Amino acid sequence: MKNQQTVVAVVPAAGVGSRMQADRPKQYLLLNGKTILEHTLNALISHPAVSRVVVAISADDPYFFSLPVANAPWLTVVTGGSERADSVHAAVITLCEHEWALVHDAARPCLDHHDIDNLLMVIEDSKVAGGILATPVRDTMKRAQVSGGDPVVRHTESRENLWHALTPQLFRAGELRQALAEGFSQDLAITDEASAMEAAGYRVALIDANPANIKITRPADMPLAAFYLQQISLQNQ
């Protein structure tokens, strides 16, 4: 069937980056001479399996169209929404239903092609609807007791079979679009594509991935991401 193996990257880039406390949304902060968003778009479109990219930006984004990449023939721009899931949905509805949506945070520029290769293998796995890059939790996990003052430990959570979900997350566009719509209608907290797919009853593969694929969230993440980007650049030489 047409489009069954076509992979389209979907990049939610409409956030404000409030936790970064910068003078602009974090995806437009510079790392090693380029914006975080440019690094992320390049990491995706330079992979041979990625045919094109759909990026969701905020309606009042004053930065995006000043970037050289804004005129790329392989790039489609849509208007994002109030939550990340709304931005993803706005992009996914532009795909054909049998195309594969490779959804990846704009804020994760340290993505290497080896991890994309491993994730794409789920396309051949009939036992799952898709998959996500993830890393096993390393630290002891504490549940906090919130009682108005400084947080204190309520209890220690078991970290057995506990993983950090990363992105990209890969699903058929038609199934993901439907799962997101159902999640919206049920007021689900959809913080990643897999949570919508899980709620819709699909099996989702966990693909053990490079922990360098961090989501740039707070100022302390910037020097670490700069280092990881340099390491990826050296590996690709």
3-class SS of residue 199: helix
Q: Which of ligand CTP, ligand LQXTBERG, none does residue 56 bind to, with CB < 5 to 8 Å depending on kind?
A: ligand CTP
- 228, 231, 235, 236 alpha-carbon torsion, rounded to 10°: 70
Q: Which of residues 118-157 bind ligand CTP (CB under 6 A)?
A: none
Give the nearer residue to ligand CTP in terms of CB position, either 52 or 215. Answer: 215
**What does the per-residue mask of binding to ligand LQXTBERG show for 197-216, with x meaning CB under 6 A?**
------------------x-
Stretch that binds ligand LQXTBERG, among 65-73, 109-117, 139-147, 160-168 (CB under 6 A): 160-168
Q: What tokens appear for 168 in the block? A: 């990209």
Q: Is 24 in the site for ligand LQXTBERG (CB under 6 A)?
A: no
Q: Is 14 in the site for ligand CTP (CB under 6 A)?
A: yes
Q: How far apart are CA 138 and CA 187, in angstroms?
A: 31
Stretch that binds ligand LQXTBERG, among 29-37, 66-74, 121-129, 163-171 (CB under 6 A): 163-171
Pairing of strands 7-12, 100-103: parallel
Q: Is 106 in the site for ligand CTP (CB under 6 A)?
A: yes
Nearest-5° Cα angle at 47, 26 to 207:
80
Q: Which of 39, 47, 84, 177 binds ligand CTP (CB under 6 A)?
A: 84
Q: How far apart are CA 42 and CA 233, in angstroms?
A: 12
Nearest-5° Cα angle at 169, 165 to 173:
145
Amino acid at 44: L
Amino acid at 19: R
Q: Contact at 8 Å (CB) between 88 and 180?
A: yes
Stretch that binds ligand CTP, among 16-24, 112-120, 133-141, 157-165 (CB under 6 A): 16-24
Q: Is 165 in the site for ligand LQXTBERG (CB under 6 A)?
A: yes
Contacting residues toward ligand LQXTBERG, per CB under 6 A: 84, 105, 165-167, 191-192, 215
